[in-house]
């Protein structure tokens, strides 16, 4: 049996939970310290399938800014964040870029899109 402490980040109360589970990748058998069921759900996700939203920037050619901000349309498995970020270093867009524009429809076969969150107009004179 493994014991681990984890802070719930679902609401500002930030309950600190003590989790008891069988080993890496297994769901908690017991959780103490959570004030509600959402904390236990969060702990289970964190232990079995941790995910994070990817936020990054992508190069823009011919724009009034050299980069545009972007984020994944849904959280990605945590272990894919660094490979996905590395993949983005090779991506560039031609200006203009509009907020909401799909940059990559399917990040590394996850079915999750990368979407521009900013706008970059075409640079004058280019
Ligand atoms: S366990 Fe519930 S009350 Fe505590 S931080 Fe998480 S969501 Fe908030």
Q: Which domain holds residue 17?
A: 2-49
| One domain for residues 35 and 87 | no
Query: How many structural domains compose the chain?
Result: 2
Q: Please indicate whether residue 17 or residue 1 has the higher confidence score (pLDDT).
A: 17
| One domain for residues 59 and 110 | yes
Dump pLDDT digits (tens) for 53-86: 999 999 999 999 999 999 999 999 999 999 999 9
Is pLDDT at 126 greater than 80 in this prediction?
Answer: no
Of all protein residues, the one whose alpha carbon is nearest to atom 5 of ligand 1 is 14
Report for 14-28, 36-50, 53-67, 112-126: range of highest mean pLDDT: 53-67
Is 70 part of any domain?
yes
Of all protein residues, the one whose alpha carbon is nearest to atom 8 of ligand 1 is 11
Query: Which CATH number covers residue 97?
Result: 3.10.530.10
Query: In this structure, are strands 114-116 and 67-72 parallel, antiparallel, or unpaired?
Result: antiparallel
Give residue 24's pLDDT band: very low, low, confident or very high (50, 70, 90): confident
| One domain for residues 40 and 74 | no
Is 121 part of any domain?
no
| One domain for residues 68 and 45 | no
26: its two tokens: 């297994």
| One domain for residues 39 and 62 | no
60-64-70-73 Cα dihedral, nearest 10 degrees:
-100
Q: Distance, CA 32 to ligand 1 centroid (Å)?
A: 12
- For the question of whether the overall pTM of this predicted structure is more than 0.85, the answer is no
The SS3 of residue 14 is coil
Is pLDDT at 104 greater than 80 in this prediction?
Answer: yes
| One domain for residues 45 and 59 | no
Q: Distance, CA 16 to ligand 1 centroid (Å)?
A: 9
């Amino acid at each position: 049996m493994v014991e681990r402490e984890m802070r719930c980040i679902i609401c500002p109360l930030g309950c600190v939970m003590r989790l008891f589970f069988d080993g890496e990748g297994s769901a908690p058998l017991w959780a103490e310290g959570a004030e509600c069921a959402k904390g236990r759900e969060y702990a289970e996700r964190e232990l079995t399938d941790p995910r994070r939203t990817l936020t990054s920037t992508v190069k823009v050619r011919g724009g009034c800014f050299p980069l545009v901000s972007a984020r994944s349309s849904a959280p990605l498995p945590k272990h894919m964040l660094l490979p996905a970020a590395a993949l983005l270093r090779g991506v560039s867009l031609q200006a203009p870029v509009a907020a909401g524009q799909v940059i990559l429809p399917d990040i590394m076969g996850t079915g999750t899109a990368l979407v521009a969150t900013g706008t970059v107009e075409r640079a004058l004179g280019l």
